Structure 1
């Protein structure tokens, strides 16, 4: 496999394992839902994640790469992120879905511009549906409306989520040279500008949910 092909497989492996972990997390977190409507909503989100994983695994197989091998380098850092950010209640569950998943999507959306087809479209297609973000944001706003003191706790939780995510992202970048090369390929991704845009989007997202950055 060429260097560029290896980089694409690295990225698809990262996204695939992220989808697999998201399925496991959401399916488990659904038990914290306060009622069946919310439990069903999060379970539907989990179902979408495993369907996305299947698409990515099939693409890796088509490239001649075993999905398990492509995902293995990311098991430890991604699992470490989720293990260190276990939600304690429903409000933290939806905040993690809203903040953590969205910043990951923003990052992948930026990187997708450096990919050739069909991988560009595949990565963009597996990003989270906006209706799930809308659902999570509405749940956060409702929690804050019911008890304004919750806003401070969830704002701190969101900052912790972002900090942990960036920490593990730095670890991945340091350990996976092929992935880093893809991100900066041909100078098409301005890393300082990328993180600036991620921060701006995160700040707007927090405000939309009634939280402080």
Structure 2
């Protein structure tokens, strides 16, 4: 039995399943949508990195005395539903999803990781590093838009739809997993919030929590705007 706070286990569990599904989806996109062997190899490399991240999270859960499958199971339906609602129809849609969709999910987990113990926070930030993915996607999407600017509107609409689905799923997830939601809205110091006394947690005002969740999703939307600008899908700041 793990002595780790439930919110920490939830965070590692949802992130582990997110990385596992990212690996599976990216590998499938590489095999079925990549227009060249070079692109197939490059996206396969990104997929392999996601699987390596999954293994780190799985091993961390095991080290904590938690069954990784049990930790991931509460999030399977939600994440599978998001992927079903945002299945790309072509190569460029797959790239935008890999950068924009995965990026806003990563922002969500980073917000939660601000309020957990330092070791967990370090691991979460490590597995969410997106430099390789962003460089790969931005280069190819910008080149495609330079060649055919008419694609801009369609890809921007696709990205907005995808993020709308992600935010909707995030709201439902926060409502269903109160310990994870507490990490997102707690005003306690980052290093101590995950270990706050149960009495203090129970005493939080529900209305204030909803306000904090609203602010959280506003920050996620702002980060999304920066990624859209990096891709050339909206004007930069």
Scaled by the length of structure 1, the TM-score of the pair is 0.94
Residue 211 of structure 1: how far off its partner (Å):
0.5
Paired residues in the alignment total 213
> What displacement does 1:106 show?
1.8
**2:117 paired residue number:** 116
Note the 1:101-180 alignment, pairs <5 A. Answer: 101-180=102-181
* Superposed CA offset, 1:57-77 (max 9, x none): 111111111000000000001
Q: Which has the larger radius of gyration?
A: 2
Q: Quick check: 190-199 or 133-142, which moved more? A: 190-199
Do 1:94 and 1:136's aligned partners in 2 also have CA atoms closer than 8 Å? yes
SS at match of 2:87: coil
Contact 2:11-2:109 at 8 Å conserved across structures: no
What is the alpha-carbon root mean square deviation over aligned residues?
1.8
Q: Which residue of 2 aligns with 1:194?
A: 216
Q: 1:156: Cα distance to partner?
A: 0.4
- Residues 92 and 157, structure 1, Cα contact 8 Å, conserved in 2: yes
- In 2, the alpha carbon distance for the partners of 1:182 and 1:200 equals 20
More divergent stretch after superposition (113-122 vs 193-202): 193-202
Q: What is the rounded CA distance, in whole Å, between the counterparts of 1:142 and 1:34 in structure 2?
A: 14
SS at match of 2:41: helix
Name which of 191, 204, 207 aligns with 2:226.
Answer: 204
In 2: Cα distance, 1:111 partner to 1:150 partner = 35
**2:5 aligned counterpart, secondary structure:** helix
Residue equivalent to 2:202: none
Shift of 1:176: 0.8
Q: Distance in 1 between matches of 2:17 and 2:23?
A: 10
Q: Which runs of 4+ in 1 moved over 4 A?
A: 1-4, 187-190
Instruction: Kindly indicate whether the alpha-carbon contact (under 8 Å) linking 1:155 and 1:211 is maintained by their aligned counterparts in 2.
Output: yes
Deviates more, 1:141-150 or 1:194-203: 194-203
Aligned-pair CA distance for 1:120: 0.7
CA distance in structure 2 between the aligned counterparts of 1:176 and 1:139, rounded to whole angstroms: 37
Match in the other structure for 2:42: 41
Secondary structure, counterpart of 2:35 in structure 1: coil
For structure 2, the residue ranges without an aligned partner over 5 or more in a row are 191-211
Where 1:26 maps in the other structure, the secondary structure is helix
CA distance in 2, matches of 1:117, 1:187: 15
